Amino acid sequence: MDIAPARTIEWVGNSNGAARIIDQTLLPNEYKHLDIADVETMWEAIKVLRVRGAPAIGIAAAFGLYLAVRNSAAPDFAAFEAEVSEAARYLGTARPTAVNLFWALKRIQKLVAAHSALPVAGIKALMLSEATVMIDEDNAVCRAIGSFGAPLLAQPPERTICNVLTHCNAGGLATAQWGTALAPVYVAAEQGRAMHVFADETRPLLQGARLTAWELQQAGIPVTVITDNMAATVMAQGKVDAVIVGADRVAANGDVANKIGTFGVAVLAREFHIPFYVAAPLSSIDMSLASGELIPIEERKAEEVTQGFGKRTAPEGVQVYNPAFDVTPHRYITALITEQGVVHPPFDAALKQLFETPV
Ligand code: MRU
C-alpha cells in the first residue's frame, strides 16, 4: 500500500518566501494552505491551532523565529542576538505544554550564538536552512518511530486485522508529514498488514474526529470515530488490540503530558489488559523535569467548551475548566516508542541511558 500523507508545513520561495501550513482549523471541511510571512501571524497560527501537534509547532516556531528577524537592520551581532532572543520569548508564549516548541527555539538560538563571527545576513540564512533541515529530520524520526512501532501493533491470532485506538491527532498533521502515533500504523499498512483505527473524537476541539479521521481516510486506512465516552465500551467488547498516542512532553520518569483525556484512556487500557504505547521523538522528552506534575499544562478559553464550532451547548456565564492536556503517570505506559527504539520500564533508568548514550 502506497501512503503519502500531506505536508503539514514547508517553506515556499527563497529567503523572502513564507512558511506554508495546512490550516487545520478548517479541516475536514476545507483543505486550504496558509502562507505565513511574519512572526505575529505565526504566533496566532500556533495559538489557535492552525498548526498544532508538538513536532509541527516546533518547526513552525523555528520558521517564526526566522520570520521575526529576517528584515532586521541590527547594526551588530549583539543587537541581532537580542532581537532573536525577544522573538523567541514571544513565540514561547503561544503554547506552554509541548516542549518541542522550546526545544526548537533553543536550537535556533544556539545556532545563532555559535555564529557570532558571521555577518548578520549569513546568520539569517543559517536560521532558515536550519528550520528547513528540521522538516527532513522530523520525517526521518517519524519513519523510524513507525518502523520500531509497527511490530508492536499485533492482532490476536483469531483476527486478521489489527484494531488500534488513538486519542487526539498524533498523525502526519501533528508533525511535518508522517506522525508519531500514526507512523506505526502507516508503516504496518505499507507492509501489507490490515489495520483499523478507532479515533477518539477528542473533546473539545475534536482533533480525533476532524483530523485523525481525515488523514486516515486520505491514506485509505479504515477508521471509526467514537466519542470519548465510548472508549470503555469498545475496549470491553474486545475490539481494541492496542492503544497508541503521542506526547507533548515526557518527563524524565516517563510521565506523559498529552491531549486531555489521554490519562483516562490509559486507565481504561490497564483495566482491559490492552497495551498502551506512547510514540514520541526525543525532542518531546524533557529530561530537566523529574516528573509529570512539573509539566506546565495549558488552559484554554471557556468558549471551546461552551460553544465549540459555533453552537452554544452550555448556559451563558457558566463556569468552565478547560485544561488542554493531562498527565498520564508512567505506570500506565507499556512502552515509549522513540526514533532510537522502544523504551521499556523502568523509564527513569531507560531514558537516562538513552540520553547518555544516543545512537
Ligand atoms: O492541542 P493539540 O492539538 O496541539 O494537541 C496535540 C496532541 O496532544 C498530540 O497528541 C501531541 O502533540 C503529539 S503530536 C505528534
Spatial separation of the C-alpha atoms in residues 6 and 173, rounded to whole Å: 8
Question: 96 CB less than 6 Å from ligand 1?
Answer: no
Spatial separation of the C-alpha atoms in residues 352 and 267, rounded to whole Å: 26
pLDDT of residue 357: 80
Q: Is 233 exposed, middle or buried (0-12, 13-18, 19+ CB in 10 A)?
A: exposed
Reported pTM = 0.97
Question: 46 CB less than 6 Å from ligand 1?
Answer: no
pLDDT of residue 21: 98
Paired with 164 in beta bridges are 197, 242
Domains of the chain (ranges plus CATH)?
9-143 (1.20.120.420), 148-356 (3.40.50.10470)
pLDDT of residue 358: 54
Question: 95 CB less than 6 Å from ligand 1?
Answer: no
Please write the tens of the pLDDT for every residue from 117-147. Answer: 999 999 999 999 999 999 999 999 999 999 9
Please write the tens of the pLDDT for every residue from 57-90. Answer: 999 999 999 999 999 999 999 999 999 999 999 9
pLDDT above 80 (res 333): yes
Distance 255 CA to ligand 1 centre (A): 16
Question: 27 CB less than 6 Å from ligand 1?
Answer: no
Distance 57 CA to ligand 1 centre (A): 9
> Which residues form the catalytic set?
248
Read off the pLDDT of each residue in 82-101 and give the average, rounded to a whole number. 98
Annotate 5-48 with DSSP letters as a single string: PPPSEEEESSTT-EEEEE-TTSTTT---EEEE-SHHHHHHHHHT
Please write the tens of the pLDDT for every residue from 169-191. Answer: 999 999 999 999 999 999 999 99
